[in-house]
Structure 1
Amino acid sequence: MHPVNVIGAGLAGAEAALTLAEHGFKVRLFECRPAVMPEVFKTGAPCELVCSNSLGSMKPESAPGILKSELEALGSHVLAAASAARVPGGQALCVEREKFSKIIEEKITGDPNIEFIREEVRSLSAFAGGEKLVIASGPLTTAALFDSLADKFSGNLYFYDAVSPIVEAGSIDMSRAFWKNRYSKGADDYLNIALNKDEYFAFYRELIAAKTVPPRDNEKEIFFESCMPIEELARRGEHTLRFGPMKPKGFDDPRTGRMPYAVLQLRTENGLNSAFNIVGFQTKMTFGEQARVLAVIPGLEKIKILRYGVIHKNRYMYSPGLVNFNLSLKSDPSIFAAGQILGSEGYSEAIAGGKLAALNIVYAAKTGENRSVLDLIDCGRTMAGSLFKYLTMSGAPMKKFVPMNSNFGLVDTKSYPKETFHELSREQISKLAGMLKKI
């Protein structure tokens, strides 16, 4: 049996490689870093999280929480690593980035079935015809590889994503900050700074006037709604931030005992609380402007930025016209796509794509059936099934196809009520996990 080639050691690629190896497949896992470093990456480590360090909500009844429960039931290797690297984050699964990547790297390099090859794949012609291939190169796929896929990926879809700054804890005036979760749910995992009306508008005025990095080559800037730069949000209206990343509901200002006008939230980057990322503050401001504008916020007057926010271009394919439900390409069923290049959005969603692509390859090899393992159950009762049905079968026209994360808008909630969907999901995924053990 030929080895399975996996391009990209990100969340999807790592999950695919580890899952295939677990089932006895030989895997060649390719990663271009550190020899070739796409923008915003800082290391050559597998599963480097370049945006938030949060994998989203763990609340059992929430859409992201249900997807994680499904991944856990299917034995996700990457999700297990995230749990092992977890840091406080309220109801969200937040990780210490370096520890998380290190755990994954040790899993990959310690697996005798995985050959970890650190070189750039510039063309699919490098692989022999008929070999199984998983393209999990992510939204930051190198230009050379993306160009080589033009004959298989019609269209050149993209959106711009932005990253929040990470700041040094010692540069925060802790006399102006307080630890608390919204509505006091769970442990007090978030550091907060309350702003009154005058303080908020002083910040707002500087924010909307700040200099930003211009788009490249006069390219139209298309933003994904949940990754919108904070200055772009602010330009929608002077109160937009107060209903978004600076929402004050659920907090009392310790200085007044009343709900503040706005709240800035910071989330720890590690177990030492030595660095924090500013929640929801992804930005395309120039580096100098980031330092200047943040210093207007009380408590951040002497702020030291450890990692500046940056903007980068994310590429993805028009999957409804290109990809089968088992995540193989319609033009070549030996090639599978997984992760954000497929058009999924979010860390957990990328992991799910890698897991399912691998399981579908395993299932086909052992049964001779080229189908999705999700077809073995009532997948409409699962979050993964609902998500990947949308990504591959929605029929959305190319101009309107945008990356999608797990949410109840994908679910037939008339047939499967939102309130009990987590129970239906658990039943179906448990059934699938049992069936997969027997093949």
Structure 2
Amino acid sequence: MSADTHAVEALYTTALLRFATAGSVDDGKSTLVGRLLHDSKSVLTDQLEAVELASRNRGQEAVDLALLTDGLRAEREQGITIDVAYRYFATVRRRFILADTPGHVQYTRNMVTGASTAELAILLVDARNGVVEQTRRHAAVAALLRVPHVVLAVNKMDLARYDEQVFARIAGEFTAYATSLGIPEITAIPISALAGDNVVTPSARMDWYGGPTVLEHLETVQVGHDPAEDPARFPVQYVIRPQTPEHPDFRGYAGQIASGVLRVGERVTVQPSGRTSRIERIDALGQSVETAWAPQSVTVTLTDDLDISRGDLIAPADGAAVPVQDITATVCHLHDRPLRPGARVLLKHATRTVKAIVKEIPSRLTLADLSQHRDPGELVANDIGRVRVRTAEPLALDPYAASRATGSFLLIDPADGATLTAGMAGEAFAESAAATAAGDPAAEWDF
């Protein structure tokens, strides 16, 4: 590819960072997010004035920065985060999409939602309490969702007298656990969200720490990679047939490239039919281009007139996934209605939705210690387990480890359209030699 193409690809992979925050109740997630927005000058004047007024009405002298994200009335009354709060902000160096997720175990499913598209997760712990059960649970979810970068923010260091040994002990314990799960990169940062230490500006009270602040790490962490390294996957969202005098025979396939790179002249396979053709033209933003890459939205035309409709997937002929009907996956159950063997559902994969049946639920995972409960009989809200599903039609499903976009799916109730379960095809956790050597229970969760 040309130098210009590589430059544009670099812009796509580095200009935007999606990240999520997670942690136990009262660990200070919302305060950290509020501090991050406030100190980076990302809060509008009227927003800040409204928060100042709300803080005074509650009898607080200092501004409660958590109110910048906890917008629901129930959240403000209870002092906890209930739903995922999305915030968009930018600095000179990068744009951000932030998902502030709930910490209560009851809302683990919300953490799954917020982290499912994240490239980085900030896990908070209270310096006084250290690594607790919910910390391990959120680390396991981050590993399950293949979040490539995890930041351990040891918060409330002001209440631990800014003690270096407290930070070192917590960071060492968490790093050992996260490494055993297969998380590839862990960065530990001591902070005080309330006082602003090491959030945006370095702390003079922790001169023993020489690493980046939270914002500095967010601005400089390397995310994304050359899209050419991934197999191309183009789910067809819409078939364009204008049937105008100028274009009587035009047939274009529109959608968003899920992964990889498409090139004019490349031989491709349409799945699940298996028919082959070549890419004749690619249109992006109204312009004809020779190359397009994820996550661009494009219109593709082929040299052959094939029967292609919404839900079909276009992939390179020499790198297409093998369509399957029997799927084994790790899932997180999201709905209050339990999921049981024999349930008839709809399975939504990319732009394709097919009928399916839950054949078996071999096990449920206990995230506190990564132990497994075999043949649980059902999965209830927030449960993570293993399922086997049979679909009515073949699906070009990739392993989730290879592609988060085309290795994931949803199970939907056909009666009312409710989303029941989020699934990840293939193995649950990344392989970890360290976990195997240490005899960690995560290494034994093979089902």
| Superposed pair shares fold, TM > 0.5 | no
Q: Max radius of gyration: which structure?
A: 2
More helix by percentage: 1
Query: Which of structures 1 and 2 has the larger relative contact order (alpha carbons within 8 angstroms, sep 6+)?
Result: 1
Scaled by the length of structure 1, the TM-score of the pair is 0.24
